[in-house]
Amino acid sequence: MKKQMKYGLAAVLLGLAGMTLLSGCQKKETKEIGQENADKVKLEVLVEGAGMPASSDEDPILDALNERLNMDMNFSVVQNEYSNQLNVRVAGGNPPDLFSLNYEQMHTYAEQDLLLDWTPYLDQMPHVQEVLKQEDWVKGMVNGKIVALSKRPFIKLHSLWVRKDWLDALGLEVPKTLEDLVNVSVAFTKQDPDGNGVDDTYGFTAPGMTAAGSQGLFGLSPVFGAFGTTQEGQFYVKDGKAVYSTEDPAFRDAIEFIRSFIATGSVDPELVVNKNFSERDKAFRGEAGIIYIAWTDMVKGNLQEQMKAVNPDAEWIQIEPPAGPGGSYDGFIDLGDTPNRYAMPKDIAPEKRDQVLKLMDYIASGEGLDLVCYGVEGVHYKKEGDQITALPAMSDITWSYNYQLVGRDDVPYYGVKYPTLTEYRDFAYGLDRINVYTNLIQIPDKFNIVDLRSYEQQELVNFIYGKRDMDEFDDFLKTLEDTYHLSTYKAAAESTLKECGYIK
């Protein structure tokens, strides 16, 4: 749980080459940033992303990095077929000097001994050590070596939202419990909250099982949280043991509740197939009065104007997740999540390696982080003390996120980018969530997680829509074990969580 986060990775990290990774106090004498060398070091960086300017001549961030770090960096961003392109480069013995890679590539390349171990060079990155947490380092580890640098994860943005004007029209209070949530949802469906005399509203909607940023039953996260569990397919620690969420008795209780909730007829009938923000469109059109969504997808940019154009009297407010027998949690945080990982080839030239280390350390904090987040001071933003204010030109550098290789601190970042929306940021950020470790687990060889997920999610849809009797839930779990070999995956999770110190 969020308030009970463990930090059992210290022993693993402190044993790596006898280095203290998290102190941030080991500094090596280096030249000052911008000090001229005889020759500029040339770097080739290749990352997956999108939105870059047509020419590097139109990229003030790249110009500033090259000037300040006295280098000649070619920074290439690939949107389509990135993994295939990287595989070809690596297989041909011509890898970039720094490149992003996914989880599977990291393990494959590491097993082939193609990646540099960053561990001996960490003292050259004191600022990186200051900003990365213990679990961040583990995300880039294979066989005890740090073979990739993991980008800091994003903060959570989701929460429940409700139409306050509909609550007021029906004389209802903000729902605080699971029972309240159902009662309000039913009222929104059956009591004509918009007063148009037409039966055209539902209570609850959310992103579907294949929506962007959503997988499986993610849209029902606050309901699972009320039972002290998460959506299907997650690993967390409960009573000192690794638990696969779908097998948790609390998960079955949550599924039974969701089944009864849907049976009231107050849930969007397209709940599991919503995508491309169709759930938000329904909410904006006044077809639903409760939605689970990220604040950035509800009020950012011109979204409020879009909503008001359709429903000028609509008043949406964020609300706490409902309380239930397992507490009140707005979904989960996966401590294994990372937006990306970055690696260097094992045989990289020493001068290029050191330049990469300098680059990563520079953009981890201070003026380097400001540059890759906000652009050039005086052009894209102004700074007074610690206060950063966006200038109009900041909207011209929409590609800056591609340069945030070490990640960013989302709280001040969103404050600068959207200064009038900080209340929504703070509300979502402050909600309690359950810690899971799913993305720390390496998928075992010959274990087909795609087939497992497909079966698991299809059958759960059958359960919640009453197409399969709850008396068959044990048979469903048995199939996960017997047919899809779930025990193999669970053994890998237990081994990893023990190695990382989360369980004994």
Task: Please indicate, yes or no, whether residues 277 and 248 belong to a single structural domain of this protein.
Answer: yes
Q: What is the pLDDT of residues 403-444, one digit of tens each?
A: 999 999 999 999 999 999 999 999 999 999 999 999 999 889
Is 67 part of any domain? yes
What's the CATH number where 413 sits? 3.40.190.10
Phi, psi of 44 (to 5 degrees): -115, 120
Place 38 in a pLDDT band, splitting at 50, 70 and 90.
low
Is 351 part of any domain? yes
Q: What is the pLDDT of residues 166-177, one digit of tens each?
A: 999 999 999 999
Q: What is the pLDDT of residues 137-185, one digit of tens each?
A: 989 999 889 999 999 999 999 999 999 999 999 999 999 999 999 999 9
pLDDT score of 16:
44
Task: Please indicate, yes or no, whether residues 134 and 173 belong to a single structural domain of this protein.
Answer: no
Task: Please indicate, yes or no, whether residues 179 and 321 belong to a single structural domain of this protein.
Answer: yes
pTM: 0.89
Is 68 part of any domain? yes
Task: Please indicate, yes or no, whether residues 387 and 481 belong to a single structural domain of this protein.
Answer: no
CA separation for the pair 214, 6 (Å, rounded): 26
* Eight-state DSSP code of residue 121: G
Residue 247 has pLDDT above 90, yes or no: yes
pLDDT score of 23:
35
Residue 456 has pLDDT above 60, yes or no: yes
Task: Please indicate, yes or no, whether residues 78 and 181 belong to a single structural domain of this protein.
Answer: no
Q: What is the mean pLDDT of residues 244-252?
A: 98
Task: Please indicate, yes or no, whether residues 80 and 223 belong to a single structural domain of this protein.
Answer: no
Is 28 part of any domain? no
Give one DSSP letter per residue of 354-367, joined into a string: HHHHHHHHHTTSHH
Task: Please indicate, yes or no, whether residues 295 and 190 belong to a single structural domain of this protein.
Answer: yes
From 385, 419, 453, the end of a domain falls on 419
> Domains in the chain: how many in total?
2
Task: Please indicate, yes or no, whether residues 323 and 447 belong to a single structural domain of this protein.
Answer: yes
Is 29 part of any domain? no
CA separation for the pair 47, 423 (Å, rounded): 33
Q: What is the pLDDT of residues 49-73, one digit of tens each?
A: 999 998 888 999 999 999 999 999 9
117 neighbors 145 (Cβ within 8 angstroms): yes
Enclosing domain of residue 387: 41-154+338-419
CA separation for the pair 410, 295 (Å, rounded): 14
Give one DSSP letter per residue of 440-462, joined into a string: GSPPPTT--HHHHHHHHHHHHHH
Phi-psi region of 319 (alpha: psi -120 to 50; beta: other; left: phi over 0): beta
Is 210 part of any domain? yes
pLDDT score of 146:
97
Is 496 part of any domain? yes
Task: Please indicate, yes or no, whether residues 198 and 316 belong to a single structural domain of this protein.
Answer: yes
**Secondary structure class of 207 (helix, strand, coil):** coil
Task: Please indicate, yes or no, whether residues 324 and 458 belong to a single structural domain of this protein.
Answer: yes
**Whose CA is closest to 346, among 180, 186, 111?**
111
